[in-house]
Amino acid sequence: MNTGLPSVRGKIETHAPLDKLTWFRVGGRADILFTPEDADDLAYFLQNIPADMPVMALGVGSNLLVRDGGIRGAVIRFGKKFAQISVDKDEIIAGAGAPDIAVAGAARDAGLCGLEFLRGIPGTIGGAVRMNAGAYGAEMADILISAQVMDRHGQCHEVPKEDLHFSYRHSDLGQDMICLSVRLKGKPGSRDEIARRMQDIADAREDSQPLRTPTGGSTFKNPDGVKAWSLIDGAGCRGLQIGGARVSEKHCNFLINEGNATAQDIEDLGEEIRRRVMNNSGVDLTWEIRIVGEKEASS
C-alpha cells in the first residue's frame, strides 16, 4: 500500500493532515505520518527510509506551529506504548509520549515531590526534555537524570543530563535525535502536600491562561529580568489581531486561533508583536513556540 516505504507493524499515512494534531488547529500535511508500534518498529523504519529524508517527532502538538505548506519528510507520532510510566524507588521512568500532567500525577501517587510543576506544562515529556520546559519555578533540568534517545540511524543511546547542556528553554538534543523515554528524580514527600501544590498550579493556569481556545501555549521566551507578556502589553499588543489570529486579552503572551486562522496569520501576528516590542522597548523577543514546515506557495 505504501510503495517505497518499509513494511512496518505500526501505522503509516501519506499526505497526512496535521492541523487536528496541533493545539493551534492549523497547518498543512506531512509527507509521511508514522505511528510506530514500539521502539524496534521505529528503528526499523528509520533504517529503511532514504538517508536524506527529514524526520521529526510530534507529541500532542502544543508549543508548535506547523506552517500551511506542511512538513516534508516523516513525522513520528508516539502511541500509547510510548506513554507508559513506572516508579523505581525515588525515580520516575516515563515514555516520551507520556503527557506531562500524567507524569506529575504518577509522582504524586508515589509520594514523590519536585515534579509538581509538570502539572502546568501542556505537552509530553519528550518535548519537555527537548526544550527544557519549565513553569512555576522549576524546569526539566532540575529533575532529569537521563534520557534514552534514538538517532537517525535507529540506534539507541542513553544520554545523561550533563550531556544535554540545558539552558533556559533549550537543550542540545539534536533535531535528528528522537527522545524515547526519560528517567526523572523525585524526593519523598507528603502526597497531600503534593496534591495541594498541583491543584494550586492548575488553578493558577485556569485563572491566567486562555485554556478554552486553540492556542500553542506560551509564545515567546522571557528575556532576562522581565516577563514577555509585560513587554507585549507595554507595546500595545493586547487584543491585536491579524486574520483569524489574535493576542489573548487574558494573557498576552498567548496567541489564539479565533476559529479561521491560518498558520501564516499566527506567524505574522507573532512577528508583528516582535516588531512592536523592539520599537517600544528595544528588546528582541525570541519565539518559544517551535515553527516547522513550509510556507504555502503563493498562487
**Per-residue confidence in pLDDT tens, the chain, 299 aa:** 344 799 999 999 999 999 999 999 999 999 999 999 999 999 999 999 999 999 999 999 999 999 999 999 999 999 889 999 999 999 999 999 999 999 999 999 999 999 999 999 999 999 999 999 999 999 999 999 999 999 999 999 999 999 999 999 999 998 889 999 999 999 999 999 999 999 999 999 999 999 889 999 999 999 999 999 999 999 999 999 999 999 999 999 999 999 999 999 999 999 999 999 999 999 999 999 999 999 986 54
Query: Rounded CA gap, 253 and 249, in Å?
Result: 9
**Catalytic position from the list 130, 169, 246, 276:** 169
Helix ranges (DSSP H) in the chain: 39-47, 100-109, 125-131, 191-208, 228-234, 263-281
- Is 146 considered catalytic here? no
Instruction: Check 146, 218, 267, 274 and give the catalytic one.
Output: 218
Element at 180 (helix H, strand E): strand 178-185
Residue 62 is among the residues annotated as catalytic for this protein? no
- The Cα-based distances of 236 to 74, 240, 290 in angstroms read 40, 8, 24
The total number of residues shown for the chain amounts to 299
- pLDDT at res. 299: 40
DSSP string of 223-253? Answer: PTTS-HHHHHHHTT-TT-EETTEEE-SS-TT
Q: Which three cell numbers stand for residue 234?
A: 507595554
At residue 175, the pLDDT reads 83
Annotated catalytic residue 298? no
Angle between helix axes 100-109 and 191-208 (nearest 10 degrees) is 150
Pairwise CA distance, residues 57 & 294, whole Å: 16
pLDDT value at position 297? 62
- The domains found in the chain, sorted by start residue, are 11-80 (3.30.43.10), 82-206 (3.30.465.10), 212-292 (3.90.78.10)
